[in-house]
Amino acid sequence: MAQRQATRGNISLKGSTQLVTEFFKYAVNTILFQRGVYPSDDFHMVKKYGQTLLVTQDLALENYLDRILAQVNKWLLTGSVTQLVLAIIAKESRTTLERWVFDITLTEPPSDESAPTHSKPESEIQEEIRYILKQIVSTVTFLPIVDEPTVFNILAYTSESADVPADEWVDTDPLAIEASKSQQVKLRSFSTDVHRIEAMVAYRYDG
């Protein structure tokens, strides 16, 4: 019995990791498109989560994101990543303009006696994801207009013990925005049986 439960837990962790990784892919693409980090010509429409999303078709960027997401996937499986941050940085001044923060928490496995672990239907998860992506799209209404060339950077907050492939990932600056000049907006969250993702955007606002 314990054996079976363990394997099932394992499988759902894998599935959930897959879902979360996929979500990051589309979220990152959506942000890069919406915030104009890459020219809109580089994006094409795909159907996903019951809506059309824009995904880059720039091969170099695609490969870059794939390599990052592959590592994120590994970290998710070991549960060693706690936060992913997509920072949008002004190209000239190197100041951080926006930080898109995705908090990842492993939801506690239910205790053994409370057997009825009702698993969340995929459609419900997809709906939650759809709402987050829609929210990302709608943030253009309040985020300050970015009228300078920008670059992005993806940071992963991992635990001290995380396996880090040498040469690929290096300790880095948090690219934080000064607290006095930062506004934060909490976005929706979604959760699978295993993971819970909370999204937040912080942006520079010198009002």
Partner 1 sequence: MNFTNFTRTPKTPTHGRSRSTARTPLSPSLAAGLNSLNISNSSPTLTRKGVPAGDITNPFIVNSSKSRSSSPVKRVTAGSGLQVNAQLKRQASSGVIRKGGPESRLDVITLDYHAPRPEAKRSKSQSSLKRDKAFPREPSVPPSGNADRFISSRGDIDVGTGYQPAPSSADSSPGHIMRLAEATGIPLNKRILGFHEAPPPPSSDQAMATQRSIIRPLYSRTGTAGSTGATTNKSRKIRTVAERILDAPGMMDDYYINLLDWSCNNVVGVALAESAYIWRGDVGQVSHVTEASDGHWVTSLKFSNDGAFLAVGFSSGSIELWDVEGNRKLRTMNGHQAQVPSLSWHEHILSSGCHDGSIWHHDVRIANHKVMELLGHHGEVCGLQWRDDGELLASGGNDNVVNIWDARYGDVTPDTRAAAKWTKRNHTAAVKALAWCPWQPTLLASGGGTGDATVHFWNSTTGARLHSLKTPGQVTSVKFSPHRKEFMSTHGLPTNGIMVHAYPSMERIAEIRDAHDARVLYSALAPGGEMVATAAADENLKFWRLWEAPPKKKVEKPKVPMEESILSLR
Question: Which residues of this chain interact with partner 1, rule CB under 8 A?
Answer: 38-42, 45, 47, 50-52, 58-61, 64, 67-68, 71, 82, 149, 151-160, 162, 164, 166-174, 176
Q: Which is nearer to partner 1, 12 or 153 (CB)?
A: 153
Query: Cα(43)–Cα(58) distance, rounded to whole angstroms?
Result: 8
Q: Which is nearer to partner 1, 71 or 78 (CB)?
A: 71
Query: Cα(161)–Cα(87) distance, rounded to whole angstroms?
Result: 24
Compute the least distance from the CB of residue 85 to partner 1, in Å.
8
Q: Which is nearer to partner 1, 158 or 193 (CB)?
A: 158
Q: Which is nearer to partner 1, 113 or 173 (CB)?
A: 173
Query: Cα(137)–Cα(114) distance, rounded to whole angstroms?
Result: 39
Compute the least distance from the CB of residue 200 to partner 1, in Å.
14
Compute the least distance from the CB of residue 154 to partner 1, in Å.
6
Q: Which is nearer to partner 1, 152 or 205 (CB)?
A: 152
End-to-end Cα spacing for the chain: 60
SS3 88: strand
Residue type, 66: D
Compute the least distance from the CB of residue 31 to partner 1, in Å.
12
In angstroms, what CA-CA distances link 48 with 65, 77, 79, 153, 196?
Answer: 18, 24, 26, 25, 20
Nearest to 207 by CA among 182, 185, 188, 186: 182
Compute the least distance from the CB of residue 6 to partner 1, in Å.
28
